[in-house]
Each structure stands twice: as structure tokens, then as C-alpha cells.
Chains A and B, each alone.
Chain A
Amino acid sequence: KAGVTQTPRYLIKTRGQQVTLSCSPISGHRSVSWYQQTPGQGLQFLFEYFSETQRNKGNFPGRFSGRQFSNSRSEMNVSTLELGDSALYLCASSARLAVNEQFFGPGTRLTVL
């Protein structure tokens, strides 16, 4: 089986812009979670989607949003980018909602200038 794929792998944006990141989970997996990884904060949970519905949400502002499609692929969007949004954004898929073992993708490195 192919692993979790994320596109693009690298992205450079300027403050105020918006960005959309994409994640394709492992075939058959229906749960997709998003995380932000920064050197100072480590991995922080953004949200989890299952069957096209957001099931869980972390403590991030409303500028961070996401969605999941019927084929389980997911996108996350960040609007009005800030310098502090520069991070590695990781997507993880699992077979079921809130199941213990998650499989991570390689991440999208976002740099905000």
C-alpha cells in the first residue's frame, strides 16, 4: 500500500496570503488528522476528520480550517498567514476514528515571509 502523501512538500508564502495543503491517506483509511510542528512547540493537534466530518479540534484560531472529501482525501487551509504560521504541517491517517496507531505523511514545509 502506498503511504500517506502530502502536497506540496514545500511552500513559501507572504504574510496575509492564504494557503491550502492537501493530504491523501492510506487507501482504506477514513480518519485524517492534521498537526503543526514547530521547533519550540513540537507537534500540536489541529483537527481530525472522519467520514467528511470534523470530529475533533485543537486550540488553533479560526484561520485554520479543513475539510475531507468522500474519497477521504483532506485539505487544510490557513487564511491571513502570519509569520508564526511557518511550520511543518503533518497529516496522519488511521483506519478508524481516534484509533491509536496513526501513519504520518512526510509533511508540508510552509514558510511565511
Chain B
Amino acid sequence: GESVGLHLPTLSVQEGDNSIINCAYSNSASDYFIWYKQESGKGPQFIIDIRSNMDKRQGQRVTVLLNKTVKHLSLQIAATQPGDSAVYFCAELNTGNQFYFGTGTSLTVIP
């Protein structure tokens, strides 16, 4: 079966530092990936996406890297701010048009 997993369940970073959150996926046929941010008491919020024909995509303070060889996805947050504290999920869209989500990494920004 398919699985989307995260390497670390928690991550603490100093304010102003860069954060890197990792994700592994198992279905090499998946061609679309999304990173979501979920704050306490709220639903997931779309951050950035990437298709499998790309290796890198940049947004505002965020970059997603895709390594299809090792089926690895990462989210980089530049100059991490207290408002970035949340749980981050990666999700892959499988060939059946269903999203599979990881269990999430909890990011804590230390002021």
C-alpha cells in the first residue's frame, strides 16, 4: 500500500533560523505533492505544491524540494517566525485521485 511518512515528529528552531521538514513517500507513480500547515484548532492550510516534473519550487519564504530518486520531499522555511509554529503535513496525490497525508511534524519556534 501507499504510505507517506515524516522523518521527525517534532522540530524546534530558533526564531530567524531556517527550518527543514522532511517527508518520505512510497508510491513512485504519485505525481503531485502538497505541503499543508495546520495550526491548533484549525483545518490544514495549503502552503505550496509541486509536480513530479519539477525538483524545486519556491514560494514566499518557503521552498519545496522533490527528490524522486529516493522518494523524498522537503519543506524549507526561511527566517522562521513564531507564527510558523504549527503542524506541517505533506500529502501525495495517488493515481486514484486521492490524497494521502503523513502524520505531521510539529514545528515549534523558540523566540
Contact = CB atoms under 8 A, between A and B. Distances in A.
Interface of A: 4, 35, 39-45, 56, 58, 90, 92, 98, 100-107
A104 B42 CA distance: 9
Query: Interface majority SS on A: helix, strand, loop or mixed?
Result: loop
Contacts of B89: 42-43
B46 A101 contact: yes
Given A92-B43, A105-B43, A106-B43, A100 B32 contact: yes
The 4 closest A-B pairs by CB, nearest first: A104-B43, A43-B101, A42-B103, A98-B97
Contacts, number: 45
A4 B43 CA distance: 10
Interface residues of B, number: 22
A83 B95 CA distance: 32
Contacts of B4: 42
Nearest to A101: B46
A13 to B, nearest CB: 21
A33 B88 CA distance: 20
A45 B42 contact: no
B97 A56 contact: yes
A101 B46 CA distance: 7
A35 B89 CA distance: 14
Interface in B20-58: 32, 34, 41-46, 49
